[in-house]
């Protein structure tokens, strides 16, 4: 019975560790989490099998301090984990959903749209979902569901001051306009120099690290890009193109790493399906 409990304990702990490590995509965050799990494992071994009470006590205090530090550093990821557990979205938590893919054509459409909005001094807020699996319940107001092909003309019409949806954000998922007039959660950062659009962009990217927000100021026409709760502003059209392409390359790299490797098909005789080179006489 003792060995059975020990086996189940190790099995559940390892499963939880793999689940947490599998949901982390940023390299630095992955290193922090690996180090913390290693400390927890060493502390457990000292308490279980080591006759070193003082060292075990110090290790326990170190694990507690590091846990508090991680709770502060990874508050966005922890909030996302609690939201997934609370809403019962286990498919997203277990990683069974499909990745939202964007391509270079999306980047060119966004750059051209943002450039025209900037010239016209027309405010705009575009959310580019790169795999955060944003749902209507993630917003203060999900807006109007559109599910339309992405185009410059449609984006310009949505942000026109004559339309009722121009004050909200436009959500882009899988190279399509998923919704418009979306009201995003505001950031708690005290940015008195920025308006509501900028606070909304920061608020969303603070909660979901795998999405980008492009903001066009209505007053000055400056272009800003929000990512992981931080702004890069003001930027030019070329700089926006570079940042978006870099994000798409990172997304493609993560997708390739997660795809299983396939072996070449074999013939019924057991030989490889690849043709062998011909030997010339």
20-44 pLDDT, tens digit each: 766 665 666 778 888 888 888 888 8
Domain match, 120 and 199 both: yes
Cα–Cα dist 206/220, whole Å: 25
Residue 140 belongs to a domain? yes
The CATH number linked to 139 is: 3.40.1700.10
Domain match, 136 and 192 both: yes
Strand order in the sheet with 169-173: 144-149, 176-182, 169-173, 124-129, 211-216, 223-227, 230-235
Lowest mean per-residue pLDDT among 66-75, 99-108, 126-135, 235-244: 99-108
Residue 227 belongs to a domain? yes
Q: Tokens standing for 47?
A: 């308490």
Please report which helix (H) or strand (E) contains residue 15, including its range: helix 2-23
Lowest mean per-residue pLDDT among 20-34, 36-50, 193-207, 256-270: 256-270
Q: Domain range spanning residue 209? A: 104-258
For residue 177, give the 3-state DSSP assignment.
strand
Residue 13 belongs to a domain? yes
Residue 95 belongs to a domain? no
Q: What is the mean pLDDT of residues 95-109?
A: 64
Domain match, 196 and 241 both: yes
Rg over alpha carbons for the chain, rounded to the nearest Å, is 24
Domain match, 69 and 119 both: no
Domain match, 144 and 249 both: yes
How are the residues of the chain apportioned to helix, strand and coil, as percentages rounded to the nearest 5? 50, 15, 35
Domain match, 45 and 163 both: no
Q: Tokens standing for 182?
A: 């979306």
Domain match, 204 and 121 both: yes
120-177 pLDDT, tens digit each: 999 999 999 987 778 888 898 999 999 899 999 999 999 998 888 888 999 999 889 9
Are 255 and 138 contacting, i.e. CB atoms less than 8 angstroms apart? Answer: no
The whole model's pTM is what? Answer: 0.63
Q: How many domains does the chain have?
A: 2
Q: Which residues pair with 272 in a beta bridge?
A: 266
Domain match, 134 and 239 both: yes
Residue 269 belongs to a domain? no
**Residue at a domain's end among 26, 58, 73:** 73
Domain match, 126 and 224 both: yes
Domain match, 140 and 233 both: yes
């Amino acid at each position: 019975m003792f060995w059975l409990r020990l086996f189940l304990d190790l099995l559940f702990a390892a499963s939880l560790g793999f689940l947490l490590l599998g949901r982390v995509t940023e390299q630095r965050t992955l290193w922090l989490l690996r180090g913390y799990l290693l400390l927890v494992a060493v502390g457990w071994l000292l308490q279980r099998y080591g006759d070193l009470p003082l060292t075990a006590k110090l290790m326990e205090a170190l694990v507690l301090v590091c846990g508090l530090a991680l709770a502060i550093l990874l508050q966005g990821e922890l909030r996302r984990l609690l939201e997934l557990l609370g809403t019962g979205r286990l498919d997203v938590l277990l990683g069974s959903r499909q990745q939202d893919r964007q391509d270079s054509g999306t980047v060119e459409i966004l750059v051209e749209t943002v450039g025209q909005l900037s010239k016209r001094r027309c405010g705009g807020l575009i959310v580019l979902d790169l795999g955060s699996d944003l749902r209507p319940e993630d917003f203060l107001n999900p807006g109007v569901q559109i599910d339309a092909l992405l185009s410059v003309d449609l984006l310009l019409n949505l942000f026109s001051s004559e339309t009722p949806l121009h004050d909200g954000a436009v959500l882009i998922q899988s190279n399509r306009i998923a919704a418009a007039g979306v009201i995003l959660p505001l950031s708690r950062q005290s940015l008195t120099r920025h308006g509501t659009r900028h606070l909304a962009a920061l608020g969303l990217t603070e909660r979901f690290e795998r999405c980008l927000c492009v903001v066009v100021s209505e007053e000055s026409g400056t272009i800003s890009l929000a990512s992981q709760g931080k702004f890069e502003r003001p930027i030019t059209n070329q700089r926006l193109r570079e940042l978006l392409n870099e994000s798409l390359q990172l997304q493609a790299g993560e997708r390739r790493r997660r795809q299983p490797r396939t072996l070449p098909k074999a013939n019924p005789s057991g030989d490889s399906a690849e043709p062998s080179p011909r030997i010339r006489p």
